[in-house]
């Protein structure tokens, strides 16, 4: 596994400029994803609760702020979900190797 993975954003001006540390712990990945999702929820609450006409004009700016947060949060959760599977696979392999060494 490479250490830093690019965040797959739909709209970014340059390739491979936002990265996630793939070697971070599951807890760190989940915490970072939760912070990103909380930021998105806060922005959505602003849209929902305010009827200011100026806010309507700012919708595209809010959408551009939400896109990278959601993309990064999705990748963080995917990495966090994959990590236990990888760790179980490594533990199983180590167990098999130690069992073979005992024979």
Q: Which pLDDT belongs to residue 103?
A: 45
Prediction pTM value: 0.51
In eight-state DSSP terms, residue 15 is: T
Q: Which pLDDT belongs to residue 28?
A: 86
Buried b (16+ CB within 10 A) or exposed e, 3-18: eebebebeebeeeeeb
Domain ranges of the chain: 24-102
Residues facing 54 on adjacent strands: none
Task: Per residue of the chain (103 residues), give pLDDT as tens.
Answer: 567 777 666 655 556 666 777 788 888 888 888 888 888 888 777 776 666 677 666 776 777 778 788 888 888 888 888 877 666 566 666 666 655 554 4
Residues facing 19 on adjacent strands: 6
């Amino acid at each position: 596994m490479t250490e830093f993975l690019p965040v797959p954003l739909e709209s970014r001006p340059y390739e491979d400029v936002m990265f996630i540390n793939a070697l971070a712990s599951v807890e760190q990945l989940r915490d970072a994803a939760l912070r990103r999702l909380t930021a998105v929820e806060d922005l959505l609450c602003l849209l929902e609760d305010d009827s200011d006409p100026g806010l309507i004009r700012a919708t595209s700016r809010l959408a551009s702020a939400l896109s990278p947060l959601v993309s990064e949060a999705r990748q963080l959760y995917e990495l966090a979900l994959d990590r236990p599977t990888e760790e179980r696979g490594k533990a199983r392999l180590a167990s098999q190797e130690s069992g073979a060494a005992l024979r």
